[in-house]
Amino acid sequence: MKTLKLLFVNLLIFVILASPALSQNDTNATATPTVTATTAAPTATATPAATTAVSTPTVVVTTAPATPAVTPVPTEGKFRVGPTVNLRPVTDVVEKNQDAIVELYMDNSDLNDVTLTVEARITVPSGIHVYGQGFGLAGAAGVVMGRFEVPPGTARTISVNIKADESARIGSHSIKFTGLYYPGANKDNYQPISLTYPVTVKEASKEIPEETPAGTPKGIPGFGAVLAIFGVFAIARLLSRKP
């Protein structure tokens, strides 16, 4: 009996002593759990960038129709390319056995379709004589004229000889070339010519050709005698027909 009581008392003491510990254990057991807030990393939602519409201009290439080749139509009475008319010196001294010589050069381009017509005049001072193909002869202190035609694509050179007689002044002289040129027969479209050629007379020329008007042929030697003989035969034939 005593043993039971003693056991009961010990049990009671044990319970009393164990109560605070049990109470503390229960408190720890029922403690509110600490909630660790885990912040979720924000999910970056990719916002599509706004697309800027770049307008590409449309280039429209317009092909012009091919221009047909234009064939030049010859213009009547006109030059496509201006002709050349000038003087080319050869010698500029007049001596006893030497003439001063100058060339009148004319060139008509092959691009032209009309003939180059040149009307030239040569004016000479006193005591000076000139002669050349197409000019005939010019008297002292006179004027000689010549007319020349140069077809397209050709050139022509007229050589002019210059002499001095005993009355010519020793020293420098000027030979003047004047006139005009024009296409074909179109004189309304003329261009003037004005050229000067200096010569020096050192002494009179040995021989001066016989001067005749331009375009007039010189006399043919013996032509008068032939004409006289022909006249005699004609008269004799007429007389022989008389009854």
CATH number of the structural domain spanning residue 173: 2.60.40.10
- H or E stretch at 9: helix 2-30
Q: Is residue 113 part of a domain?
A: yes
Where does the pLDDT of residue 102 fall: very low under 50, low under 70, confident under 90, or very high at 90 and above?
very high
The whole-number pLDDT of residue 13 equals: 75
Tell me the average pLDDT across 75-79: 73
The model carries a pTM of: 0.54
Residue 156 domain flag: yes
30 has a pLDDT exceeding 90? no
Predicted confidence at residue 66, as pLDDT, reads: 60
Asked if residue 73 belongs to a domain, the reply is: no
Number of domains in the chain: 1
Residue 97 carries which side chain, given as an amino acid letter?
N
Average pLDDT over every residue of 64-86: 70
Q: What average pLDDT does range 26-52 have in this prediction?
A: 48
pLDDT grade for 234, boundaries at 50, 70 and 90: low
Domain assignment present for residue 38? The answer is: no
Q: How confident is the model at residue 103 (pLDDT cuts 50, 70, 90)?
A: very high
Q: Which residues pair with 31 in a beta bridge?
A: none
Flag whether 67 is in a domain: no
Can you tell me the distance from the alpha carbon of 64 to that of 155, in angstroms, rounded to the nearest whole number? 44
* Dihedral over Cα of 70, 71, 72, 75: its sign: negative
Residue 192 lies in a domain: yes
Nearest residue to 134 via CA among 121, 122, 146: 146
pLDDT exceeds cutoff 60 at 62: no
CA torsion angle for 68, 74, 79, 82 (degrees, to 10)?
40
Q: What is the DSSP string of 108-137?
A: E-TT--S-EEEEEEEE--TTEEEEETTTEE
The larger pLDDT score, comparing residue 225 to residue 158, is at 158
State how far the Cα of 174 lies from the Cα of 177, in Å rounded to an integer: 10
Plot region of 238 (φ>0 → left; ψ -120 to 50 → alpha; else → beta): alpha
Is residue 162 over pLDDT 80?
yes
Q: Does 199 map to a domain? A: yes
* Residue range(s) defining the domain that contains residue 164: 84-206
Mean per-residue pLDDT of the chain: 74
pLDDT at 240: 61
Average pLDDT over residues 206-234: 52
pLDDT tens column, 38-49: 444 445 454 444
- With respect to residue 243, please indicate whether it lies within any of the assigned structural domains: no
Q: Are 90 and 108 in contact, with CB atoms under 8 Å apart? A: no
pLDDT at 206 over 50: yes
Query: Is residue 68 scored above 70 in pLDDT?
Result: no
- pLDDT category of residue 171 using cuts at 50, 70 and 90: very high
